């Protein structure tokens, strides 16, 4: 079944998982994330996000290399080197001051570059919206991060813990947007599916200079006009006389 340009043959199962994820968000993840962002000072919260992104840079570099994107490969290595050394193991982001912008690349993106289609839409327990290609990519990224092979447990799992804190920061900081989608929309499943698919397709179709801001709202519609007045009357121009001077 293809709905609104999204191939969703497993919709009934996906909807059940979506309701499960909403229950988890209502009972635990949402309140915990909002409490986390309220209690933890912004500079400390930002440091954890910087650390999470820095730990992911070797994985970004590997995917960029597999995609033949040498510019992103070089930036990722540069950011990792600078932030790990000068930036206190990644808790700060001096690489940005050295004109090395935040970059991202994942194995789902690599599969896209290699010509694999996105496949069916799926909603994963705890992880949320995805598709077949990105689900394979999510698993593949664990094997592509060199830190998995050179760092022993339990330090090896620090990247996972920091990623969870990054997700909590996103959930807490964008709680109004998330909750309007999950709890105020007429069909939260369809809305989530649409926003995820639009954002992912936009991300894969954009060059680095046009990519979505990694510090922007990850739940926003990428096709909306960022400069439009949200309170403007959409029919105001229709009342004007087109022949008036």
What is this structure's pTM? 0.80
Mean of the pLDDT values across residues 63-90?
A: 98
Position 208 scores a pLDDT of 36
Instruction: Report whether 53 contacts 169 (CB < 8 A).
Output: no
Mean of the pLDDT values across residues 27-52?
A: 98
pLDDT exceeds cutoff 60 at 20: yes
Q: Which of 43, 37, 21, 68 is nearest to 196 (CA)?
A: 21
Reading phi first (left if > 0) and then psi (alpha if -120 to 50, else beta), residue 4 is in: left
How would DSSP label each residue in 52-81?
Answer: HHHHTHHHHHHHHHHTT-HHHHHHHHHHHH
Q: Residue 139 burial by CB count (10 A; 0-12/13-18/19+): exposed, middle or buried?
A: exposed
Over the Cα atoms of the chain, what is R_g? 20
Instruction: Report whether 142 contacts 116 (CB < 8 A).
Output: no
Model confidence pLDDT, tens digit, residues 187-208: 999 999 999 999 999 999 943 3
Cα gap 128→22, rounded to integer Å? 9
pLDDT range class, residue 231, cuts 50, 70, 90:
very low
Model confidence pLDDT, tens digit, residues 145-184: 777 666 655 555 788 899 999 999 999 999 999 999 999 9
Position 2 scores a pLDDT of 65
Model confidence pLDDT, tens digit, residues 93-140: 999 999 999 999 999 999 999 999 999 999 999 999 999 999 999 999
């Amino acid at each position: 079944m293809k709905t609104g340009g999204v191939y969703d043959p497993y919709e009934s199962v996906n909807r059940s998982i979506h309701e499960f994820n909403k229950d988890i968000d209502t009972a635990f993840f949402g309140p915990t994330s909002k409490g986390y962002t309220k209690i933890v000072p912004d500079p400390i919260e930002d440091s954890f996000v910087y650390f999470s992104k820095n730990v992911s840079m070797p994985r970004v570099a590997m995917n960029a290399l597999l995609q033949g994107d040498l510019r992103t490969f070089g930036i990722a290595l540069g950011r990792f080197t600078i932030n790990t050394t000068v930036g206190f193991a990644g808790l700060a982001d001096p690489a940005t001051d050295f004109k090395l912008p935040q970059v991202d690349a994942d194995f789902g993106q690599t599969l896209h570059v290699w010509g694999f289609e996105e496949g069916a839409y799926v909603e994963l327990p705890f992880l949320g919206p995805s598709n077949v290609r990105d689900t394979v990519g999510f698993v593949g990224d664990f094997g592509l991060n060199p830190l998995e092979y050179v760092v022993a447990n339990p330090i090896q799992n620090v990247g996972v813990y920091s990623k969870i804190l990054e997700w909590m920061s996103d959930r807490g900081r964008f709680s109004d947007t998330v909750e309007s989608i999950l709890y105020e929309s007429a069909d939260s499943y369809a809305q989530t599916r649409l926003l995820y698919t639009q954002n992912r397709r936009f991300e894969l179709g954009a060059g680095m200079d046009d990519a979505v801001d990694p510090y922007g709202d990850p739940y926003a519609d990428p096709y909306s006009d960022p400069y439009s007045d949200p309170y403007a009357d959409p029919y105001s121009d229709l009342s004007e006389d087109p022949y008036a001077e």
